[in-house]
Structure 1
Amino acid sequence: MSRLRMGVIGAGLWGGNHAHTFNVLPETELVGVCDLDEGRALKMKETYGATRAFTDYQKLISSDQIDAISVATPDFTHTPIILAALKADKHVLSEKPLATTVSEAEEIAAAAAISKGKLMIDFHNRVNPILAQVRDMIQDGQIGLAKHGTARLSNTTFVPFEMLSWAAKSSALWFLGSHLVDVLRFILADEVVRVYSVARSGTLSAGGVDTKDFHASILEFSKGTVVTMENSWILSRDNPSLVDFKVEFVGEKGQIQADPTHSGGLRRIVDGGLKYNDYIGITPTGATRIGGFVLESIARFVDSVVRDAPLLADAQDGLANTKILAAIEESVATGKAVNIG
């Protein structure tokens, strides 16, 4: 059987996860990698054994040697890349969010509906073993109807100040809230119908990153569940992990509490204090296999193309996600609750 010939666009941290996965899976061949920075593209090519390096994504997409692409570029750059690939009938895996405006997300969803290529959004927490179990518990009715909940996915200031060179063009809402909104839709198997949110600025802008410090939002779901959601980029760097991730639901018959922040069984105390190492998200495996839910979700894209397995998250999931995040921004701007049609 011929292998699925892959191209990866974006040579940053997450692009490396994509390239590694496509280099290892026996069903795929990493043909091309692309980045605006030629040095980064060449380094990725060398590191992961790609055949070619590009600096123009249009040339990668137009290559008849590539069947599918993955998009691992900053939040606000996804739309033209995805549209070009779908127009060329390539299969597409995109990092979240699908797009940062509703009109762009709608344009992508319309293009996906007529393209011969499949489009999947890499909402990898759908295969996070902790959160998948929470979904099963909720859907099995173990706590009855989930009446209310809290959800927090936030970062220390390291992320906007040092990790992301483009943080001022995004926010904790788009970078983290996109994951969390999808997690809530996935766990509850329900849609958000109304949001109210407030946000504040000052800490990040004082440090030269002109974006919101945090968003605090209330999400109302159609079946009645109300979730308070926090996305912040100003947590202290003294935290043992740069991510703080917690989900809790209170139901008619009980409660569920999840802390997928870190793998608590592996800790180290070094200069700077207590640190946690991850051994669930990315797990070492044999030469022809991958491990951990972060890479597993990328492999699910391959399954959907090669074996016609269901997409982990499709264009409609991406569109719904963008609508909710855009409604949250509208609520912040107007000071009013916003209904989502």
Structure 2
Amino acid sequence: MEQVRMGVIGLGNMGSSHAVNIHGGKIPGMVLGAVCDVSEARREWAREQVPGVAVFDSVDAMYKSGTIDAVLIAGLHYDHPEQAIEAFAHDLHVLVEKPAGVYTKQVLEMNEAAAKSGKVFGIMYNQRTNPVYQKVRELVQSGELGSLKRVVWVVTDWYRPQAYHDSGSWRSTWKGEGGGTLINQNPHNLDLLQWILGMPTRIRSFCSFGKYYNIEVEDDVTAYLEYANGATGVYITSTGEAPGTNRLEISGDMGKLTIEHNKLTFLRNRISEREHNRVNTQPFAKPECWQCDIPVSSSGGEQHNGILKNFAQAVLNGTPLLAPGEEGINGLLISNAIHYSSWIDGWADLDQFNHEHFYELLQERINGSTVEKQQVESKVADLTGTH
């Protein structure tokens, strides 16, 4: 294979953007083989904007067409796992947009199908291409920060007014999207959290549902996290604050990393705090600390195109994936655990997460959702727009 023929499912803002970039030759080793959308208007858009590309109104028909080697799934959140499983059954490589799915039960099934298929499986976690987060991960995982003590991430710059929530009948509903800010705005942040630090062991959370808006899903979240080594964390997010904050602090024995406005600062202890505590005899003495402004590019990296380029090389040359699809369940598990903890008013154990009970509780909310299924389906193209 000299080029990967990519198919795109869902031609909303993200899907159409991917299609245009691939068709425009921005992804070496990849060409646009086909697109698929249930909306005739979006299919007509495709005929005009990506001419010469096969256009389908049925996922199954596209999978059977022989026009593609891989598929980028960018439709409804709930459909991601099912469409991925079907793609693997048709011997296709798969790249799925975030989130991997809405609930862990279906994503575990997707991961199992991926493992059996032997095909390349990636997820569009484009923030992993950001040089700032790559450097943070390197400093943490190399041990330069020392043993983790605490993480605090306040990410409240996801402001969305009522007009946003009213822009589609499926928006901000359990049936339409499967949640609020956690499933819609925060998947990249939750992925970065576990990509940099690893998974917490348990979570106690407090979610407000419709606190700021006339919606049924969460719009304000505070979660307390515990890690295996005794470290703790706080994750705060909301769509109801303006102006908002996006500030990540990670503390370890060797100091503290702060990330804000795409700038990385390392307040670095000369010796470990634990070693200082052992040898120090002065009542108020602190370890000597240097402020180090880490020189990393603030460009944000190649983002979506970077993931597409990496995926193409993985298919063609076996290059390791920057964002393996199987890892999509990690951020989703944190998201589900935050919901679950709030629903049961207790701790959520991630090592022994009750996938079935979470699914049952989610179904109760879906059944009581204010949006009708046909309304969701009629908006499939719009759902892939800017989150």
Residues 82-122 of structure 1: CA distance to partner in whole angstroms, max 9, x if unpaired? Answer: 11111111000001121111210111011001114221111
> d(CA) in 2 for partners of 1:164 and 1:137?
44
Aligned pair count reads 308
Q: Is the 8 A contact 1:156 1:235 kept in 2?
A: yes
2:12 counterpart residue number: 12
Q: Residues 193 and 222 of structure 1 are in contact (CA less than 8 Å); yes or no, is this contact kept in structure 2?
A: yes
In the alignment, the residues of structure 2 paired with residue 196 and residue 140 of structure 1 have an alpha-carbon distance, to the nearest angstrom, of 29
Tell me which of 178, 201, 218 is aligned to 1:193: 201
Shift of 1:203: 4.2
Q: Which of residues 160, 172, 180 is equivalent to 2:189?
A: 180
Q: Secondary structure at the match of 2:185?
A: helix
CA contact (8 A) 1:119 1:315 kept: yes
Counterpart in 2 of 1:274? none
2:184 corresponds to 1:167: no
Structure 2 residue matching 1:248: 3-state secondary structure: strand
Residue-by-residue CA offset, 1:230-286 (whole Å, 9 max, x unaligned): 2312233xx4xxx85331112212111112569xxxxxxxxxxxxxxxx834xxxxx
1:51 has 2:70 as partner: no
In the other structure, the counterpart of 2:374 is none
Query: Structure 2 regions of 5+ residues with no counterpart?
Result: 264-297, 352-387
Question: Identity percentage over the alignment?
Answer: 26
Aligned equivalents of 2:148, 2:136: Cα separation in 1: 11
Conserved in 2, the CA contact under 8 Å of 1:32 and 1:60? yes
Q: TM-score, normalised by structure 2?
A: 0.73
Give yes or no for contact 1:30–1:49 (8 Å, CA) kept in 2: no
Q: Which residue of 1 aligns with 2:246?
A: 245
Partner amino acid, structure 1, of 2:254: K
Do 2:153 and 2:247's aligned partners in 1 also have CA atoms closer than 8 Å?
yes
Q: Residue 12 of structure 1: CA displacement?
A: 1.4
1:255 partner SS: strand
Amino acid at match of 1:292: E
Could you tell me which residue of structure 1 aligns to residue 74 of structure 2?
Answer: 72
Gap change, CA 1:210 and 1:41, over 3 Å in 2: farther
Corresponding residue for residue 365 of structure 2 = none
- After TM superposition, the structure 1 = structure 2 runs for residues 153-164 of structure 1, keeping only pairs within 5 Å, are 153-154=155-156, 155-158=158-161, 160-162=165-167
Distance 1:222 1:76, change over 3 A: same
What corresponds to 1:63 in structure 2?
Answer: 65
Q: Which residue identity lines up with residue 260 of structure 2 in the other structure?
A: D
Match of 1:321 among 297, 315, 331: 331
Query: In the aligned structure 2, how far is the partner of 1:61 from the partner of 1:140?
Result: 43
Match of 2:223 in 1: 217
SS at match of 1:100: coil
Alignment of 1:35-46 (within 5 A): 35-46=37-48
Match of 1:265 in 2: none
Alignment partner for residue 334 of structure 1, among 344, 352, 356? 344
Over residues 32-56 of structure 1, what are the superposed CA-to-partner deviations in whole Å (9 max), with x where a residue is unaligned?
1112212113313432445122221
Residues 7/144 of structure 1: CA separation in 2 closer, same or farther (3 Å cut): same
1:246 partner amino acid = R
CA change 1:327–1:320 in 2 (3 A) is same
Greater shift, 154-163 or 29-38, is seen at 154-163
Q: Is the 8 A contact 1:30 1:50 kept in 2?
A: no
User: Deviation string for 1:298-340 (max 9, x for gaps)?
Assistant: 2211121111111222243122332222221110101111111
Structure with the greater relative contact order (CA < 8 A, sep ≥ 6): 1 or 2? 2
Structure 1 pair 333/234, CA: closer, same or farther in 2 (3 Å)?
Answer: same
TM score, norm. by length of structure 1: 0.82
Q: Deviations over 1:29-78 (max 9, x none)?
A: 10211122121133134324451222212211221111000011232221
Indicate the larger mover: 38-47 or 143-152: 38-47
1:150 matched to which residue of 2?
152
Match of 2:299 in 1: 280
Opposite residue 204 of structure 2, the aligned amino acid is Y
Q: Which amino acid aligns with 1:226?
A: T
Distance verdict in 2 for CA 1:223–1:22, change over 3 Å: farther
| Deviating more after overlay: 309-318 vs 2-11 | 309-318
Which residue of structure 2 lines up, in the alignment, with residue 106 of structure 1?
A: 108
C-alpha distance in 2 between matches for 1:310 and 1:74: 28
Indicate how the Cα distance of structure 1 residues 332 and 171 shifts in structure 2: closer, same or farther if over 3 A, else same. same
Aligned to 2:30: 28
CA displacement 1:191-248 (0-9 Å, x = unmatched): 2210111111234552xx3321122112222233322112312233xx4xxx853311
The structure whose Rg is larger is 2
CA RMSD of aligned residues (A): 2.4
